[in-house]
Amino acid sequence: MNFGFALQAQDGAARAGLLSTTHGQVETPTFMAVGTAGTVKAMTADSVRATGAKVVLGNTYHLMLRPTAERVARLGGLHEMMDWPGPILTDSGGFQIMSLAKLRKMDEQGVTFRSHLDGSAHHLSPERSTQIQHLLDATITMVLDECTPFPATHEQAAVSMRLSTRWAIRSRAAFIARPGYGQFGIVQGNVFEDLRSESAAALVEQDFEGYAIGGLAVGEGQAMMFAMLEVTAPLLPAQKPRYLMGVGTPDDLLGSIARGVDMFDCVMPTRAGRTARAFTSHGVFNLRNARFIDDARPLDATCACLCCARHSRAYLHHLFRAQEILGPMLLTTHNLTYYQSLMTQARMAILEKNYAIYCARTRAGWENAKHG
């Protein structure tokens, strides 16, 4: 199957689409489960599938250090290794180098750094990042970019964005096209409209299979993030998928879909699942809270996941208090299922031209958290 994206419906700027890849089709909007080191934390591949997730994200930085891209390739690629035959998107490694690696040194060529695991020296260039993602057998490869710090001056943001643009062009040249595989460019430019515009124009010229919006959700706040989406999304080709990187809360997702985003990834539902934070149709709560100690109700009565179908809040409370691994296992299952059901319902609402009402009702539900 060739790589492609069909826009199926629009409600305002909100879009419903169908992404086609060699590893399967994905209805959008879609939320991708983060599987950093070749596993969605605390989940088997089967339990990830059961949440409704269609795409898993792998982190190039983690995988290049351990088990290494060459080793993953020898094991048949990431799909085979982690038992995920569906689509896999890999990031470029740039973002994690900035947040995790030691002794970073960046120049035009790329970035040299030391592993946070064992201090070993590594080099990542646009070409090497693209090659690593090829070795991992990524369905969707991301270009290497520099993540501009926030806040940044217009000058800093411009210099950084233009470097990212040159790297995007080199990443594109290094990408080995195969049927059903794609590569996404990443729009940078911090919170400056003119830079976002310049970045988008340069990337569109490269005719990527999709476009990501990067450098948001880094501290600028939801209002500024939404403003930047309103500027950026219209600059991107309507017939290509749009991916907002590293976002976010359920409310961020609804607002971003309203502004034309099709794809998301975020550690939030999985990380929260390991720290007892539950995302539900009644809002967010922490299951370690003593008020759940005798609460025999399901976590979310509107949810059909294993956790909600079989267990009580009191049991989940007990598992987290007792530091049992089953707590993170069940709550990650629920949180990912909740994120997927948000996407499924958002899609349905868009198809029915009912998206604004759906968002209003969903947000009203979250306000009920205080009632239980």
Active site members? 91, 265
Q: Which range in 44-52, 154-162, 218-226, 283-291 contacts a second copy by CB under 8 A?
A: 44-52
User: Would you call 242 helix, strand, or coil by DSSP?
Assistant: strand
Inter-residue contact 31 to 265 (CB < 8 Å): yes
Whole-angstrom CA distances from 226 to 84, 104, 190, 219, 297 are 33, 31, 13, 13, 36
Q: Which range in 104-112, 118-126, 251-259, 320-328 contacts a second copy by CB under 8 A?
A: 320-328
DSSP-derived secondary structure for 17-72: EEEEETTEEEEESEEEEE-TTSS-TT--HHHHHHTT---EEE-HHHHHHTT-HHHH
Inter-residue contact 36 to 212 (CB < 8 Å): no
Count of C-beta atoms within a 10 Å radius of residue 98 = 17
- Does 273 contact a second copy by CB under 8 A? no
- Does 250 contact a second copy by CB under 8 A? no
Place of tokens 């057998």: 137
- Does 42 contact a second copy by CB under 8 A? yes
What is the distance in angstroms between the CA of the first residue and the CA of the last residue of the chain? 47
- Does 301 contact a second copy by CB under 8 A? no
Tell me the closest approach of the beta carbon of residue 24 to a second copy, in angstroms: 18
DSSP-derived secondary structure for 163-203: HHHHHHHHHHHH----TT-EEEEEE--TT-HHHHHHHHHHH
- Does 329 contact a second copy by CB under 8 A? yes
Question: Under rule CB under 8 A, how many of the chain's residues touch a second copy?
Answer: 38
Angstrom distance (rounded) from CA 31 to CA 40 = 13
The tokens describing 310, both together, are 């079989």
- Does 328 contact a second copy by CB under 8 A? yes
- Does 25 contact a second copy by CB under 8 A? no
Q: Which range in 26-34, 150-158, 211-219, 315-323 contacts a second copy by CB under 8 A?
A: 315-323
Among 16, 26, 56, 82, binds a second copy (CB under 8 A): 82
Cβ proximity to a second copy, 90 vs 148, nearer residue: 90
Tell me the closest approach of the beta carbon of residue 75 to a second copy, in angstroms: 6
- Does 321 contact a second copy by CB under 8 A? yes
**In the 8-state DSSP scheme, what is residue 243?**
E
- Does 38 contact a second copy by CB under 8 A? yes
Tell me the closest approach of the beta carbon of residue 314 to a second copy, in angstroms: 6
Q: Which residues bind a second copy (CB under 8 A)?
A: 37-39, 41-46, 62, 66-67, 71, 74-76, 81-83, 293-294, 296, 306, 310-312, 314-315, 318-319, 321-322, 324-326, 328-330
